Structure 1
Amino acid sequence: MAAWSVTILVLLACLWFPASVQCMVRHYKFNVVVKNTTRLCSTKPIVTVNGRYPGPTIVAREDDTILVKVVNHVKYNLSIHWHGIRQLRTGWADGPAYITQCPIQPGQSYVYNFTVTGQRGTLFWHAHILWLRATVHGAIVILPKRGVPYPFPKPHKEEIVILGEWWKSDVEAVINEALKSGLAPNVSDAHTINGHPGSTPSCPSKGGYTLAVKPGKTYMLRIINAALNEELFFMIAGHQLTVVEVDATYVKPFKTDTIVISPGQTTNVLVTTHRRAGKYLVAASPFMDAPIAVDNLTATATLHYAGSLTSAATTLVSPPPKNATSVAANFTNALRSLNSKKYPAKVPLKIDHSLLFTIGLGINPCSTCVNGSRVVASVNNITFVMPKTALLQAHFFNINGVFTTDFPGRPPVPFNYTSIQLTNLGTKQATKLYRLGYNDTVQLVLQDTGMITPENHPIHLHGFNFFEVGRGVGNFDPKKDPKNFNLVDPVERNTIGVPSGGWTAIRFRADNPGREGLMVQFSSRIKVKERKKKKGS
């Protein structure tokens, strides 16, 4: 009843105060279909939305309501996640399969209904089951309310740039073979910019994405990393990038030649076309500073000035080495929240829960796997087991036996996290959640481990933004490191990369009741319990 009351009040506000409350309901239809697509000189069927790769862009304004009808015409179960949307009071619309909903079965449909409350900027949507998100993804553009300007000069034009990965093989076959063998999945065959890898050694061509520009103008690029696994560098030959936003939050503008962007992150940059007419290479290349196999190919596109001949030579750019830790660190360290009067950085100062999650890999027995074992993901020595009943459904209907709320807030046995440990690599497999009270404040230190190998971990917190208050190399020191935390203007995000062999500290307020997930390519879970109202309230 409360939810209906809120909806009615909002609708009445739209009717009575049209000048001050500009509400719209925006309708979209996603037909999930298979389409034959050619990349790298070979053709394969891929799962798409409306036959497009990348998929269609959702455009809305702050406080608009979005309804998306998803119709599943393919053989896979699927769900769609609206990456970075807070989903205040609409947790069931978030999209992770078996977490907030059961997946949409073949031949069935589902309507996602949510309001974009207090957010503006660039986010994206993607499939949230199996590896379908490799091709099932697209941009979300949230414009400010009418009459509210950007906190930087308005650009001449805006463009969407989606970075991704491409496999010649069927991506579902790739991940299924990995699960069957117990080994890591094969790396991708190419990176992509707006669905195109550009020219590669195995498939030389003049193809690829072209960004047409006029001289003397400023453009805003809404850059999205929709890759499954890899952090990427992004740069444009001969042009500096002015960073103005990350993960749909404004930042203090700064100039850079190269940005680094983790899977799930977004970055808005301003580019001024001040060079002489011509063509300039746009490049996306991998960043990996750990001994992990990656796709080494650089995706390319072209920034093409109006009036330039198609046959004109392209000005090239050399991407950083894939292990250029200093380039990535310089970019990350430059990020600061705008922290203005209109856009303050509300960093929690008093902490109710101080947590330490160790993130890494483990090895569990598997009689049917290669070598009789399987490589698994681990958070605090627990490997998350996907439930057969959606967690939110289990909570709402009081279904027992689906999950427990005893996820440890710290490692069960402390150890030298970043050293190479080759003793007991086994993990406990369970569906565990950590319980938070409504409006509790949380400090969460995410610690990479050297179990098997250290590596960078992209982490996304569903339903919340958080502030990155600190990061470092080696083991987190709870006595020394907090003294250097930035509690004034730390960057606010929804997705972050934990450095290889290091740690990241984040803070947030648990103001969104429901079953929200901390996604680390694998999953640990956080549960926010809504406190009971007092009588008469």
Structure 2
Amino acid sequence: MGQNKVKEASYTRLCKTKKILTVNGKFPGPTLYAYKGDTIIVNVHNRANQNITIHWHGVKLPRYPWSDGPEYVTQCPIQPGQSFRQKVIFSQEEGTLWWHAHSDWSRATVHGAIVIYPKNGTGYPFPKPDAEVPIILGEWWKKDVDEVLHLMLATGGDPNISDAFTINGQPGDFYPCSNARTFKLNVDHGKTYLLRMVNADMNEIMFYKIAKHKLTVVGADASYTKPLKSKYVVLSPGQTLDCLLHANKRPDRYYMAARAYSSGIGVPFDNTTTTAILQYNLNYDQSSPPIRPSLPYYNDTSSAFRFLGQLKSLNSDDYPDSVPLNVTRMVTTVSVNTFPCVSATNASCEGPNVTRLAASMNNISFANPDFAILQAYYKHIKGVYGTNFLSYPPLVFNFTADYMPLELEVPRLGTEVKVLKYNTSMEVVIQGTNLVAAIDHPMHLHGHSFYVVGYGFGNFDEKKDPLAYNLEDPPLRNTAAVPRNGWIAIRFRANNPGVWFMHCHLERHLTWGMDTVFIVENGERPDERILPPPPDMPQC
């Protein structure tokens, strides 16, 4: 049982004090602890002056979408002064996940880690570490993040880039006015530490590295992986990693550092570097600065996908895979788009060629309704959403060509969902396009984890590319990056009845409409049906 209060707090960062939205006055917010199979109750009290929702990222919530959180998809927001008692049901998850706000851009400061331990009487599939440490990557603006969002919406252009990245809420030594607060991890030589890593950034995929040390990845998105030793790791917004750090180097002080991986040509991004310090608990000369790591370059696509492509599921007797083999294939494009300017002035049309920036899946830019889709579906209320999200792109062209007609840039605005019969085995191929601005897209599916069975660059070939799929030990994830001008293929079994959001986890793309909704219908048996809603669901 948790009493969590969303409220404003004052924080001093980068030489400026401002009020931010927090949970229980903490930034990042409190870590939630559970055991595999637990059900917990979290009481959310909104004591701020704006609407809020809370999403349990990567938690499947079997048959209980009522607690999932995305505003106007599964619930109406919790209004100021109101409360919502959220039941969080853990099932197969084991490892590290996170929770965050899912309303406007509030998740910039409203987020925290979730640690799911193995069931009592069981242990990790690797030697038990001596200690565990959350490492949460974040993104920081000097301005109120709501101002950043509202300015983006008012101008129709790109949002202002962030002023800093953070590790556990602190920017680190390479920013002004922050070195006294830099996060420090003290370690004993010879011991092993489990780093529970979360990328809570709003708009950037991140490289992360500790000088002179290798990390051994043993889990991703609360699913165990084959041990992977690496000098660096890559996390998309929304992703988590469990990494073992062996403190076996010469006792000294070492920087851990993170900076953006951004492949888009002409796409603005924060090119600063956040740091924290790893320091050994022994006597040595601490007058010299910590040793710096050498991170991959910002647009080093080969390094980013070399790491991501090496991740494999554990697929052991205790943790077997269940990759769907006989599947229904669906293909969707993910694109950055533009809408024509309809303003009397150009002040609100700062996109390319005097347009407004947008985004889409299968050429539909998702429009949030003003009533929750889940409640409309459950109560058979018509007119809130349509069911015309197509299984294949409505416009077929060379998606990754260097030059494309401008008319391809304009999507259709709508609230369209895809309805799936219960227990359908799905393959979803997500194809990036070169419309307006090609960039990587970290795609997140609520209510389900999925196997990433393949990825590639260029246009997906339905005949050739599936021949190279990994159907033996693909990683099981809830968020996966579509490479710039490339594709990924994911597989999952639609065995969780409810209404489940799918969207890009770059916040600006979500806001612009790179979203859709899967409605998984009820099965025939009572235990295959959505559970009833709680009595205190927030009202619209």
* Fold similarity call, TM over 0.5: yes
Aligned counterpart, 1:423: 406
Aligned counterpart, 1:105: 79
In the alignment, the residues of structure 2 paired with residue 516 and residue 140 of structure 1 have an alpha-carbon distance, to the nearest angstrom, of: 20
Aligned counterpart, 2:30: 56
**CA deviation after TM superposition for structure 1 residue 206, in Å:** 4.2
**CA deviation after TM superposition for structure 1 residue 531, in Å:** 3.4
In the alignment, the residues of structure 1 paired with residue 470 and residue 175 of structure 2 have an alpha-carbon distance, to the nearest angstrom, of: 45
* 1:483 paired to 2:475: no
Q: Is the 8 A contact 1:384 1:524 kept in 2?
A: yes
**CA deviation after TM superposition for structure 1 residue 333, in Å:** 1.5
1:524 pairs with one of 513, 516, 520: 516
* 1:333 paired to 2:333: no
In the alignment, the residues of structure 2 paired with residue 201 and residue 439 of structure 1 have an alpha-carbon distance, to the nearest angstrom, of: 50
What's the secondary structure of 1:174's corresponding residue? helix
* 1:374 paired to 2:356: yes
Amino acid corresponding to residue 428 of structure 2 in structure 1: L
In the alignment, the residues of structure 2 paired with residue 531 and residue 48 of structure 1 have an alpha-carbon distance, to the nearest angstrom, of: 39
What's the secondary structure of 2:306's corresponding residue? helix
Matches within 5 A, 1:113-512: 113-203=87-177, 205-291=179-265, 292-308=267-283, 310-351=286-327, 353-368=328-343, 369-370=348-349, 373-419=355-401, 420-424=403-407, 425-512=409-496
**CA deviation after TM superposition for structure 1 residue 317, in Å:** 1.1
What's the secondary structure of 2:75's corresponding residue? coil
Aligned counterpart, 1:45: 19
In the alignment, the residues of structure 1 paired with residue 492 and residue 12 of structure 2 have an alpha-carbon distance, to the nearest angstrom, of: 43
Aligned counterpart, 1:17: none
Residues 82-132 of structure 1 deviation map (CA, whole Å, 9 limit, x = unaligned): 000001011101111111111000010101012211221100000001100
In the alignment, the residues of structure 1 paired with residue 196 and residue 405 of structure 2 have an alpha-carbon distance, to the nearest angstrom, of: 43
Q: 1:135 to 1:143 in 2, by over 3 A?
A: same
In the alignment, the residues of structure 1 paired with residue 520 and residue 63 of structure 2 have an alpha-carbon distance, to the nearest angstrom, of: 12
Aligned length: 508
In the alignment, the residues of structure 1 paired with residue 172 and residue 11 of structure 2 have an alpha-carbon distance, to the nearest angstrom, of: 15
**CA deviation after TM superposition for structure 1 residue 170, in Å:** 0.6
Q: Is the 8 A contact 2:171 2:178 kept in 1?
A: no
TM-score normalized with structure 1 length: 0.93
**CA deviation after TM superposition for structure 1 residue 312, in Å:** 4.3
Q: Is the 8 A contact 1:193 1:299 kept in 2?
A: yes
Bigger CA drift: 153-162 or 195-204? 195-204
What's the secondary structure of 1:176's corresponding residue? helix
What's the secondary structure of 1:289's corresponding residue? coil
In the alignment, the residues of structure 1 paired with residue 241 and residue 416 of structure 2 have an alpha-carbon distance, to the nearest angstrom, of: 33
In the alignment, the residues of structure 2 paired with residue 95 and residue 365 of structure 1 have an alpha-carbon distance, to the nearest angstrom, of: 32
Q: Is the 8 A contact 1:422 1:451 kept in 2?
A: no
Q: Is the 8 A contact 1:182 1:366 kept in 2?
A: no
Q: Is the 8 A contact 2:32 2:114 kept in 1?
A: yes
What's the secondary structure of 1:320's corresponding residue? coil
In the alignment, the residues of structure 2 paired with residue 342 and residue 377 of structure 1 have an alpha-carbon distance, to the nearest angstrom, of: 41
**CA deviation after TM superposition for structure 1 residue 203, in Å:** 4.1
Higher relative contact order (Cα pairs below 8 Å, separated by 6+ residues): 2
In the alignment, the residues of structure 2 paired with residue 337 and residue 230 of structure 1 have an alpha-carbon distance, to the nearest angstrom, of: 25
In the alignment, the residues of structure 2 paired with residue 118 and residue 370 of structure 1 have an alpha-carbon distance, to the nearest angstrom, of: 46
Q: Is the 8 A contact 1:63 1:116 kept in 2?
A: yes
In the alignment, the residues of structure 2 paired with residue 379 and residue 427 of structure 1 have an alpha-carbon distance, to the nearest angstrom, of: 9
Residues 15-63 of structure 1 deviation map (CA, whole Å, 9 limit, x = unaligned): xxxxxxxxxxxx1111111111011111111000011000000001011
Q: Is the 8 A contact 1:278 1:314 kept in 2?
A: yes
What's the secondary structure of 1:232's corresponding residue? strand
| Aligned residues: CA RMSD | 1.4
In the alignment, the residues of structure 1 paired with residue 276 and residue 178 of structure 2 have an alpha-carbon distance, to the nearest angstrom, of: 13
Q: Is the 8 A contact 1:380 1:411 kept in 2?
A: yes
Q: Is the 8 A contact 1:421 1:452 kept in 2?
A: no
Bigger CA drift: 369-378 or 27-36? 369-378
Aligned counterpart, 1:4: none
Amino acid corresponding to residue 211 of structure 1 in structure 2: L
In the alignment, the residues of structure 1 paired with residue 289 and residue 370 of structure 2 have an alpha-carbon distance, to the nearest angstrom, of: 56
Residues 488-510 of structure 1 deviation map (CA, whole Å, 9 limit, x = unaligned): 11010000110011000000000
What's the secondary structure of 1:315's corresponding residue? coil
In the alignment, the residues of structure 1 paired with residue 486 and residue 113 of structure 2 have an alpha-carbon distance, to the nearest angstrom, of: 31
Q: 1:219 to 1:533 in 2, by over 3 A?
A: closer
Residues 267-288 of structure 1 deviation map (CA, whole Å, 9 limit, x = unaligned): 0110111112211100011101
Q: Is the 8 A contact 2:14 2:175 kept in 1?
A: no
Aligned counterpart, 1:7: none
In the alignment, the residues of structure 2 paired with residue 379 and residue 431 of structure 1 have an alpha-carbon distance, to the nearest angstrom, of: 11
Q: Is the 8 A contact 2:61 2:90 kept in 1?
A: yes
* 1:66 paired to 2:32: no
Sequence identity percentage: 45
Amino acid corresponding to residue 417 of structure 1 in structure 2: F
In the alignment, the residues of structure 2 paired with residue 531 and residue 152 of structure 1 have an alpha-carbon distance, to the nearest angstrom, of: 37
**CA deviation after TM superposition for structure 1 residue 341, in Å:** 1.1
Amino acid corresponding to residue 423 of structure 1 in structure 2: L
In the alignment, the residues of structure 2 paired with residue 385 and residue 298 of structure 1 have an alpha-carbon distance, to the nearest angstrom, of: 35
What's the secondary structure of 1:395's corresponding residue? helix
Q: 1:346 to 1:266 in 2, by over 3 A?
A: same
**CA deviation after TM superposition for structure 1 residue 307, in Å:** 2.3
Q: Is the 8 A contact 1:40 1:200 kept in 2?
A: no
Q: Is the 8 A contact 2:220 2:477 kept in 1?
A: yes
In the alignment, the residues of structure 2 paired with residue 204 and residue 46 of structure 1 have an alpha-carbon distance, to the nearest angstrom, of: 17
